[in-house]
Structure 1
Amino acid sequence: MSATGLTPQEDEAREPVLDTVDRVSEMCFGLFMALTFVGAVSAATDGENAGQKMLYTALGCNLAWGLADGVMYIVRTLTNRGRWLTLVLTVKNAPDGAAGVSALRDALPKPMKSLVADTELELIRARIAAMLTVPDRPRLVLDDYLGALGIFVLVVFSTFPVALPFVLFKDTSTALTISRVLTLAMLFCAGIALGRHAGFGGWVAGFAMVALGVALTMAIIALGG
């Protein structure tokens, strides 16, 4: 058994530390947090060091949320791994092959249930039943902590394009314009990445993400966020 608690064949099938959806989602989350926070604070902050105060305050906010998101990523990973282990043990301990196949079918996503035949599930059941070693409990590995760290960094990093212009430019209106342009550019790039990942048109997805981001930010502000 490997350090992950999985067989070598299963290790090869593991997902990347953070997939495209994870990376883009966390970046957008941090971006929205910083954007709404800076928009609210810029109207109330004044003085010579207003820009620095805004940056530090927004950074502190995203540091807290980045930490919370990273911890929840660990929780989610451990929970999903526990579900996988429970399924494996259920199949291995099934009284007969039919019960094992039934357990696998119940675990399939709903759209897949009608696409996978019992004969195909039987092949999977046989492989699981032949596993010589199974971890006694779900475990975290190095990649899980790297994923949590990556989420933390993405959320914190998203603060700077939004808040840094207020430090570099003394004129608030100029800083606000540059901040919004950078935000829209990041949202557009995020939309392109998601569109290509999903197999849709990248440009269309980019503009859709910009529109969604603007609407979502206005809704968050309107709700007091």
Structure 2
Amino acid sequence: MLTTSLDPQAAEARPRLLDTVDRVCEMCFGLFMALTFVGAVSAVGAPADASRTMFYTALGCNLAWGLADAVMYLVRTLTERGRRLSLVKAVRNAGDPADAIGRLREALSPALRTLVDDAQLEAMRGHIAQHADLPVRPALAPQDLLAAAGIFLLVVLATFPVALPFILFSDVPTALLVSRVLTILMLFGAGIALGRSAGFGGWMAGVVMTLVGIALTMAIIALGG
């Protein structure tokens, strides 16, 4: 989607590091990763050190995936910023105004293409043509590094509500019960947050998210995840 700012780097400078959808999705990602290990624990016949081993294995996995997810966020941000910078330069350097308008229209999402007419795109093209202060190349800002750190922390912290009961409770069935209750509560809360952000009913979205999360976790475990 095309932003109205001509500076591809300044366009994303905002006080909030990650929006609601980003935060909830990253939390759910870490939750699902931890659940794959918890789902492999049996309440009957589990070795004495199974709980502690599972906890540290789940934590190590989420540390690794949190790091990978944070790095890929930076790669994705830099790539998208470079794509927008290339578009702005191409529009500014286009010899034919019709070609520049066509490039701008292609950059719009399908939903916006029907809402924006050529006169509005021409006004944007003229503004771009007069704008000379553009970065030479795309770059990351401190805000991006903070957002990546936030992603890493969300993925890692999602491990604890699911796996920590196995450290706190020596009885495996009790730990499993507490872990599953906390998991359901987290999925329900994630669904409410997403539902409210999308304008849906919060409670219904919470129920749907819980059911989807449980089904997805079962599928991940069944596939060997």
TM-score by length of 2: 0.91
Identify unmatched segments of 5+ residues in structure 2: 1-5
Q: Deviations over 1:52-95 (max 9, x none)?
A: 22211110010000000001000100011011101100110010
| Bigger mean CA offset, 55-64 vs 38-47 | 38-47
Identify unmatched segments of 5+ residues in structure 1: 1-5
Partners of 1:45 and 1:134 in 2: how far apart? Answer: 61
- Alpha-carbon contact 1:101-1:121 (below 8 Å) kept: yes
Q: How far 1:133 sits from its partner (Å)?
A: 1.2
Aligned letter for 2:102?
S
Residue of structure 1 equivalent to 2:115 = 115
Residue of structure 2 equivalent to 1:83 = 83
Partners of 1:45 and 1:149 in 2: how far apart? Answer: 36
- Alpha-carbon contact 2:9-2:139 (below 8 Å) kept: no
Aligned letter for 1:183?
T
Partners of 2:66 and 2:30 in 1: how far apart? Answer: 8
What is the count of residue pairs matched by the alignment?
Answer: 218
Residue of structure 1 equivalent to 2:3 = none
The residue matched to 2:40 in structure 1 has which SS?
A: helix
RMSD between aligned alpha carbons? 1.8
In the alignment, structure 1 residue 34 sits paired with structure 2 residue 34: yes
- Alpha-carbon contact 1:100-1:125 (below 8 Å) kept: yes
Residue of structure 1 equivalent to 2:195 = 195
Residue of structure 1 equivalent to 2:206 = 206
Partners of 1:202 and 1:92 in 2: how far apart? Answer: 45
Residue of structure 2 equivalent to 1:11 = 10
Residue of structure 2 equivalent to 1:53 = 53
Partners of 1:129 and 1:12 in 2: how far apart? Answer: 18
Partners of 1:171 and 1:92 in 2: how far apart? Answer: 67
In the alignment, structure 1 residue 152 sits paired with structure 2 residue 165: no
| Bigger mean CA offset, 198-207 vs 10-19 | 10-19
Residue of structure 2 equivalent to 1:106 = 106
TM-score by length of 1: 0.91
| Bigger mean CA offset, 81-90 vs 106-115 | 106-115
- Alpha-carbon contact 1:42-1:54 (below 8 Å) kept: no
Q: How far 1:145 sits from its partner (Å)?
A: 0.6
Partners of 1:145 and 1:22 in 2: how far apart? Answer: 15
- Alpha-carbon contact 1:21-1:194 (below 8 Å) kept: yes
